[in-house]
Amino acid sequence: MDHFELHHGVLHAEHVPLTVIADAVGTPVYVYSRATLTRHARVFRDALAILPQVRIAYAIKANPNLAVLKVLAAEGYGADVVSGGEMERALAAGMDPDSVVFSGVGKTAAEMRRAIEAGIGQFNIESEEEGVELAAVAAAMGQTATAVLRVNPDVDAGTHGKISTGKAENKFGVPFDRAADIYMRLAATPGIAMRGLALHIGSQLASLAPLEAAFTKIGGLMRAIRGAGHTVTHMDLGGGIGVPYKAGDEYPSPADYAAMVARVTAGWDAVLMFEPGRVIAGNTGVLLTRVIRVKQGAANPFVVVDAAMNDLARPALYDAWHDFVAVSPSGERMLGNIVGPICESSDTFAMGREIDRVVAGDLAVFRTAGAYGATMASTYNSRALVPEVMVDGARWAVVADRIEPATILAAERVPEWLD
Ligand SMILES: *Cc1c(COP(=O)(O)O)cnc(C)c1O
């Protein structure tokens, strides 16, 4: 459910016609609905309330916009960060450092130091080498870093290969059969306090079965480690729940997910941690674009829009589907290929799709673009960095400026030996 609906024939974000935003800010532009974001945050949190001890760390990489983080911080969310930059965003949004989890295979010593200084609550370490380095960094500061060990459960998430993270061949976590030994060696290392296990098997999961298999496996590992005399108080179950990108698609609900987690984790006696990203942010945004022209094609016409793969990379990266709807639909339909202006054939949003009939100058949106949208934007083809707007009822604000090509050009230097 979201708050992007037609009123009097014009698509609105809450009470604001998208035509108003396009006229004021220009296109392409991401538009987020605060009410939708709040709703998703609450539905997820309330679903998990059936579990005894829960902490939710929103995966910032899905949508790191500061205004988005402010809304989630107010809903009691912590953050899962994967870089020093994301950590600074979480802190800038006023999130409690203790509620921040630092994940990622490539944390540098400098990032570790900064995170310890800032009081980040938990490091999710992804290798024994990283654990040893973290322990040394913390010990040199006279501190002890709190950590959990990310395990690779070797479970097929059944999602796109590029967003699968829990198969043995993926770079994430430590191999399942070596995890207990690594945990116990690190637990005996000064400078690091091991308190649990973590996993995250992939993104945009359409089924709960792989998650259930992974949770069952890691539960067994938890018991084995406890059986060897070590404490395990925190179990981080990651993110990954998918969202429907195509009208009519069915995905597991947060309530289904929570019921599965409750069943699998009964008797665990551990704090359960969650790192949702897409399921919180996906539905809260659209990418608003204008049709530049409609060009005759060999089969179907090409609808050339002013948004491109640099603004929304998911179709080019993962063959992802985003529903495309006109802002002022006439009711007529057409078959079209939706493409951006970039000089790459992968700059294609859809081929031979039945869509609202559009002509040059019309506005349209790509739906469900709130997660892994603006955050992946680039300036490829010397295009502007796409701006972001948040709507709240009848008011709205630009929450990220459009960064013009001239600003980027101004940051480049020609050495004098080329002049
Ligand atoms: C990306 C990521 C998430 C969030 O994944 P979603 O599919 O957006 O829920 C959670 N945890 C880690 C470690 C991640 O890398």
Q: Which pLDDT band holds residue 164 (cuts at 50, 70, 90)?
A: confident
Which residue among 101, 275, 317 is best mutated to probe the pocket of ligand 1, counting the most ligand atoms within 8 A of its Cβ?
A: 275
Centre a 10 Å sphere on the Cβ of residue 73 and count the other Cβ atoms it contains. 18
Q: Identify the residue whose tokens are 């913390």.
A: 138
User: Is 104-274 in CATH node 3.40.605.10?
Assistant: no
Is pLDDT at 64 greater than 90 in this prediction? yes
pLDDT at position 162 is 81
Q: What is the pLDDT of residues 196-228, one digit of tens each?
A: 999 999 999 999 999 999 999 999 999 999 999
Q: How far apart are CA 305 and CA 93, in angstroms?
A: 34
Is pLDDT at 97 greater than 90 in this prediction? yes
Paired sense of beta strands 54-59 and 78-81, if any: parallel
Ligand 1 pocket, residues with Cβ under 6 angstroms: 59, 61-62, 80, 82, 103, 200, 203, 238-240, 275-279
Q: What is the percentage of the chain residues whose pLDDT exceeds 70?
A: 100
Is pLDDT at 170 greater than 90 in this prediction? no
In this structure, what token pair is assigned to residue 404? 């013009």
Rounded to the nearest angstrom, the distance between the alpha carbon of 239 and the centre of ligand 1 is: 5
Contact 156, 206 (CB under 8 A): no
CA 245 from centre of chain: 15
Rounded to the nearest angstrom, the distance between the alpha carbon of 202 and the centre of ligand 1 is: 7
Residue 55 is a catalytic residue: no
Which of these is catalytic: 343, 406, 411, 414? 343
CA-nearest of 109, 56, 114 to 85 is 114
Q: Which pLDDT band holds residue 392 (cuts at 50, 70, 90)?
A: very high
| Range 245-254 average pLDDT | 93
Is pLDDT at 44 greater than 90 in this prediction? yes
Which residue among 80, 126, 199 is best mutated to probe the pocket of ligand 1, counting the most ligand atoms within 8 A of its Cβ?
A: 80
Domain assignments of the chain as residue spans, ordered by start: 4-32+282-410, 104-274
Is pLDDT at 160 greater than 90 in this prediction? no
- Per CATH, the number for 4-32+282-410 is 2.40.37.10
Is pLDDT at 120 greater than 80 in this prediction? yes
Rounded to the nearest angstrom, the distance between the alpha carbon of 217 and the centre of ligand 1 is: 19
| Range 343-347 average pLDDT | 95
